[in-house]
Amino acid sequence: MKRTVQIEIAGARYRMSSDADENYLQRLADIVNERVRALGPKAARSATPAQLLAVVALGLAEDLEASERRLERLEAKTRQVVGSAIRRIDQRLQADAELAQQIEP
């Protein structure tokens, strides 16, 4: 059910209608606000809120891309390890089947 929530980002208050939990939205806003603070007081004095948010958005997009690349590498490594394990299991099963045939009269 949609609710109206109010969050503050870079000193501006925003009202939004959302299905998301208000605490969750506030945590996201806190991340953005921390990124704005990390730009430093000089940036806060010389840039508009829109410019600050654009820089933060670019930083978050860069972080997302880096995370997606790490995920892709992890998935590829997982596929490689699982494939290798399956091949070893298949080899062992084949060897066991051959041994069983040799033992049977």
pLDDT digits (tens, 9 = 90+) for 2-27: 899 999 998 899 999 999 999 999 99
CA of residue 84 relative to chain centroid, distance: 27
Q: How far is CA 26 from CA 6, 13, 31, 102, in A?
A: 9, 12, 9, 68
Inter-axis angle of helices 22-38 and 49-103, to 10 degrees? 110
The Cα 27–Cα 32 span in angstroms is 9
- Note the pLDDT of residue 90: 97
pTM: 0.74
Instruction: Report residue 6: phi and psi, to 5°.
Output: -125, 125
User: pLDDT (tens digit, 9 = 90+) per residue, 50-104?
Assistant: 999 999 999 999 999 999 999 999 999 999 999 999 999 999 999 999 999 988 7
**What amino acid is encoded at 95 in this protein?**
A
Residue 16 is predicted with a pLDDT of 93
In 1-105 the beta strands, taken as DSSP E runs, fall at 3-9, 12-18
